[in-house]
């Protein structure tokens, strides 16, 4: 399981820390299309950003240990929220789920998506 710490490591270890505020600076709440454009640009920035070496190493080690311990070749990668299990919340599993993901490179790409 990845926590918000992994997200922070990713953002802090890439140009995203500076890029995201820059992309958000053009958002005008009165013009929804600016929010859509900024969201699209931020998503593309995440897609382009390489995994920081330390985070990549941690994820690779964890994945290799998981595969060895459980003798499985396929994994599932699914998004989650820190609030999805709160009382009254009903959005668990509504984000993205990737099934039958094989190999560390595919795992890393699924995590970024």
Q: How many DSSP H helices and E strands does the chain contain?
A: 5, 2
Percent of the chain with pLDDT over 90: 71
* Overall average pLDDT of the 34-55 stretch: 96
Q: What pLDDT is recorded for position 72?
A: 85
Q: What pLDDT is recorded for position 104?
A: 94
The total of other beta-carbon atoms located within 10 Å of residue 44's CB is 11
CA distances from 61 to 6, 82, 93, 95 (A): 14, 24, 26, 26
Q: What pLDDT is recorded for position 84?
A: 64
Q: What pLDDT is recorded for position 1?
A: 80
- Bridge partner residues of 77 (DSSP): 98
Task: State pTM to two decimals.
Answer: 0.77
Element (H, E) at 69: helix 53-70
Residue-wise pLDDT for 56-72, tens only, equals: 999 999 999 999 999 88
């Amino acid at each position: 399981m990845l926590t918000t710490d992994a997200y922070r490591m990713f953002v802090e270890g890439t140009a995203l820390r500076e890029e995201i505020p820059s992309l958000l600076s053009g958002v005008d709440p009165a013009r929804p299309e600016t929010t859509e454009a900024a969201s699209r640009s931020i998503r593309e920035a995440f897609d382009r950003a390489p995994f920081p070496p330390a985070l990549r190493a941690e994820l690779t080690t964890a994945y290799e240990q998981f595969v060895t311990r459980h003798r499985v070749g396929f994994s599932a990668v699914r998004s989650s929220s820190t609030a999805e299990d709160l009382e009254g919340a009903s959005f668990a599993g509504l984000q993205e789920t990737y099934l039958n993901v094989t190999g560390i490179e595919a795992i890393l790409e699924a995590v970024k998506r």
